[in-house]
Amino acid sequence: MQTLLMLSPIFLVFLAAVYFIWAFKIRSQKLARQKEIIKAGDKGEYKVQSILSPLEKPNSRYKVYHNVKLGPDALHTNEYDSVVIGPNGIFHIETKNYGGERGGIIDVDSRGNWILHKKNGYSKLINNPAGQVDSHEYRLKGFLNRVVGVRNLPTQGIIVLSCDKISMRYNKKTNSDIPVLSRHELLNYIHNYNRGNLVLYPRTIKKICKNIEEMNRMAKAN
């Protein structure tokens, strides 16, 4: 009995060591998965940035920003993957690299749930990015109204799927104001939005751009 009591602390230390090793391994695996997700997301954003590069030429009527923060004030902002300002509207783009390099199929059910089916047979429920785009729309309107001082400008949120091997499959077509596009459809959509009617004057575009740059200059300084 006395020997057992003497061994108990040693056994407890052993169990604690095993637990900490296990916990460290789980945490390391979780961090590795998070890094892979971020890496995949970055790849998707770079692909979309490349698609938008023609709009960034010196003679372009559009202005393009990537990874900017916008909101009604510096304390209430959202981060946007890409924002395009042009004569026919202001476009905020949410890039998703679902499926990675291999691709797959996204099923959308009648309730708007998204289920990703990967090529390897793995399926999982993913967040419908429409909610994220709605939040961006709300913050963008706040930015335009309070910071820029202009109202009722045409704004449009867009979900862009950067993977070329991903496809959408709708169980029941839902009415949505947010288009889901492949990256190769993006430029054509922007150019033809609102049938090409010019609604933003150059001075308005200049004013918007000046305030975007100022808000993000302040954000980086803080």
Instruction: Kindly list the domain boundaries of the chain, sorted by start residue.
Output: 2-221
What pLDDT shows up at residue 24? 53
Q: What is the pTM of this model?
A: 0.79
Q: What is the per-residue DSSP string for 49-102?
A: HHHHGGGGSTT-S-EEEEEEEEEEETTEEEEEEEEEEETTEEEEEEEE-TTTTT
pLDDT at residue 23 is higher than 70 = no
44-61 confidence digits (pLDDT tens): 899 999 999 999 999 999
Residue tagged 């150019």 (tokens)? 191
